[in-house]
Structure 1
Amino acid sequence: MGCCCPGCLLSPVPKPKEGDLIEIFIIGFQHWAVYVGCGYVVHMVPIGKVAGARISSVVSPLAERAIVKMELLSKVAGMYEYRVNNKHDDKYEPLPPNMIVQRAMEKVGKEVPYSLTQDNCEHFVNELRYGIPRSDQVQKAAQSMGISGVLVGFLFMVFAGTRSLSENH
């Protein structure tokens, strides 16, 4: 589905195609979505927090569930820059665009597991496009943090455990 409006034809940003991965640059991290056509993307949003990727991804590191939403790319990206980034096409064969869109649409409205390190929005879109869940952000953060990452991870687990205990009493 191509757009023929003059503004789109003149835009320096390449127009996304169905099945493309969209990387949204938010301060300190990236949010990921898959383009499904007509200006819409499918993405995951942690449950129980403020709606919208711009806020919920920042304030929801301890969320355990997410909801899959279909929203306008312009709403999801808001004031942040974004780009088409099918960065693993050279490593993995992408599924056909119609299959990527179909797989994404089947998940809309469903609750899915969420974990900042194992089931985040980047894992989600890579699974849809390539059939392989992976997150380069997590890998890069782990590499750059080195030994201090072990300490941060330990403190994160202690905090999460303390939070879980306090919620059960």
Structure 2
Amino acid sequence: MGNWLSQSDQTPEPGDLIEVLLGGYQHWAVYVGDGYVVHLTSPPDDEVSGAASSSLMSIPTEKAMVRKQKLQEVVGHHKWRINNILDKKYKPRPPQIIVEEALGQVGKMMEYSVISKNCEHFATQLRYGKAESWQV
């Protein structure tokens, strides 16, 4: 688990999980290379933009969209870190598989639930093949 960063002091590798500190909760994304992440975010018809749109915790919704965005756009001014949270519990899938599956989800609408289908579940499912969240 890396340190909380406000600048790009760490270089993520494809397949790494990125944890963004947003007040009292975290937002999660999967790094896919070349400065981009794939993550669950608000549907396009929601009127939320910028870093706030990265988090669904503050938006009452049952749907989310998978988006590919620049890491810096997603983290904005918030602190972030590389956090492959379950590497001691599960063997990570090969990076190329993680990235392929993440990119294959881009543009799709997904069911969303803070408790059972949140951004951390999405990210851990891609990395480990197991959807888990330590936030809830």
User: What TM-score, normalized to structure 1?
Assistant: 0.71
- For the Cα contact (< 8 Å) 1:31–1:122, is it kept in 2? yes
Higher helix proportion (structure 1 or 2):
1
Are 1:98 and 2:90 matched, yes or no? Answer: no
Task: After TM superposition, list the pairs within 5 Å mapping 1:38-77 onto structure 2.
Answer: 38-47=34-43, 48-49=45-46, 50-55=48-53, 56-60=55-59, 62-77=60-75
1:110 alignment partner in structure 2? 108
Unaligned residue ranges in structure 2 (runs of 5+) = 1-6
The structure whose RCO (Cα within 8 Å, separation 6+) is larger is 2
Q: Deviations over 1:99-150 (max 9, x none)?
A: 0000000000000110111100000000000000011000xxxxxxxxxxxx
Q: Pick from 87, 90, 105 the counterpart of residue 89 of structure 1.
A: 87
Q: CA–CA distance in 2 between the matches of 1:12 and 1:44?
A: 22
| Structure with the higher strand share, 1 or 2 | 2
Q: Percent identity?
A: 46
**1:112–1:12 Cα change, 3 Å:** closer
Q: Which residue, out of 4, 28, 32, partners 1:32?
A: 28
Secondary structure, in 3 states, of the residue corresponding to 2:56? helix
AA aligned to 2:11 is: K
Q: What displacement does 1:57 show?
A: 2.3
For these two proteins, the number of residue pairs brought into alignment is 127
CA contact 1:54–1:77 (8 Å) conserved in 2: no
**Maintained 8 Å contact 1:46/1:64:** no
C-alpha deviation, 1:93, in angstroms: 0.6
Q: CA deviation at 1:59?
A: 2.7
1:137 aligns with: 135
Structure with larger Rg? 1
RMSD: 1.6
Distance 1:53 1:127, change over 3 A: farther
Calculate the TM-score normalised by the size of structure 2: 0.87
